[in-house]
Amino acid sequence: MMDGIPDIELPPRDNNRRETLKTIASAITGSALLSTLPWLSPLKAAPAGKSPSDKVRLGLIGTGSRGQYLEEHLLKTPGAEIAALCDVYPPHLQAAQQKIGKPVTHYKDYRHLLDDKSVDAVIIATPLYLHAPMCLDALAAGKHVFCEKSLALTIPECKAVARTASQSPKVFQIGHQRLFHRATLYALQQVKAGDLGPITQIRAYWHRNVNWRRPVPSPELEMLLNWRVHRKYSAGLMTELASHHLQVANWFLDSPPLACIGYGSINYWKDGRDVFDNVNVIYKYPKGVSFIYDSLSSNRFYGLELQIMGPKGTLELETAKFYAENPPPAPGIIQLINQIERGTLESVALADRSWVPDLKKDTKGTPLPEDPDHDDGTGLSMAAFVNAVRLGEKSPAMIEHAYRSGVAALMGVIAMEEGREVAWPGGYA
């Protein structure tokens, strides 16, 4: 452990997840930070043994790209057994089945999977519009639920899922892996320690240069495979991408947004889609702090980044670096050389000092500790979910994160679609 942060180092090769989790458990136990990160608590439990009673039997609903990514992690998670699969698209189902390497029960209708009494918990990795009905049905069927982000397609649905999850005795977890990401946990520690001073602004962007479409074997599968670009099934860039950064903003500012305004349009991919291909939203948080977000589908030069800024420094979480506003001085010899260079090369003034533009500081920054296996947090989030189910350990904070980020993303969508300021709609209770 270092500076009160759980030392969640994974070994270089991920061939013994059981031993890894034992190491994590011992590191997390007694961590001072644990009280503020309750969703990490299940990781302190000893990993499951090999007896069948120690196994958590999981049903994977949705076996597309994200579902299969979660499946790969689950196959390496001690105590996890994928007992059933469900998808309406046979090629995805077949691919997921092959990854397991042995035949498991599979369903086309998720309600039949929920009727399977041998399944303890479900992993929901389906299109956004299905999240709410599936979560509600699963909780009603007495299943523990892991639901991929974002929480739901509408704010009333978000409220319904969060309310039901909080009232249910079952575990509910959302797929915001940054809650388990090592560098992000260190960054939070830096913020709490005052390394940035008070947060004065958060800025995030996610830029891609793709049309977001998948190849469709026949036209009737268009809505099924390209649901992301159709408003009836998706809320577009805000729920698919921005919700991740909104979750971190809510977390680091310890509050949901008060309100937001924004503009969005379809300015490049005019291919029949009805979700924006570019979004630009400003969220207002308490204490005069703003979160500025934009996402593009037509330029990838700047990629993605999340910048947390204060008077003493900047954290860039996607590249896991901290930049001090006043970095320690360069070594003496370098300063001397620079002084000699300045004396010989810059003797002619180009302009008055006030003209000099405030260009970006070219500092290298201090790297935040990252997971040696480059786990983005998904591996640990799966392990935490399985342990939470095994221990029956609910985390209300997890439901709050799911609700706040899901609703904040939808506030942005409404602000852009209706051209007005959208206020925080309150809690779900």
Question: Residue 333 or residue 348: which is nearer to other proteins going by CB?
Answer: 333
Exposure letters 212-236 (e unless 16+ CB within 10 A, then b) = bebeeeeeeeeeebbbbbbeebbbb
CA 249, CA 307: separation in Å to the nearest integer?
10
By residue count, the chain amounts to 429
| Cβ 314 to other proteins shortest distance, Å | 25
143 within 8 A of 113, measured Cβ to Cβ: no
| Cβ 400 to other proteins shortest distance, Å | 46
| Cβ 385 to other proteins shortest distance, Å | 46
Question: Residue 154 or residue 366: which is nearer to other proteins going by CB?
Answer: 366
Between the alpha carbon of residue 409 and those of residues 39, 178, 241, 383, the distances in Å are: 22, 16, 9, 27
Identify the bridge partners of residue 2 per DSSP, sorted by sequence position: 5
| Cβ 332 to other proteins shortest distance, Å | 4
* Residue 302 neighbours by CB distance under 10 Å: 11
Question: Residue 288 or residue 329: which is nearer to other proteins going by CB?
Answer: 329
Interface positions with other proteins (CB under 8 A): 329, 331-337
| Cβ 288 to other proteins shortest distance, Å | 39
CA 321, CA 365: separation in Å to the nearest integer?
6
What's the one-letter identity of residue 279?
A: V
* Residue 14 neighbours by CB distance under 10 Å: 14
| Cβ 313 to other proteins shortest distance, Å | 21
Question: Residue 360 or residue 364: which is nearer to other proteins going by CB?
Answer: 364
Question: Residue 225 or residue 324: which is nearer to other proteins going by CB?
Answer: 324
Question: Residue 16 or residue 363: which is nearer to other proteins going by CB?
Answer: 363
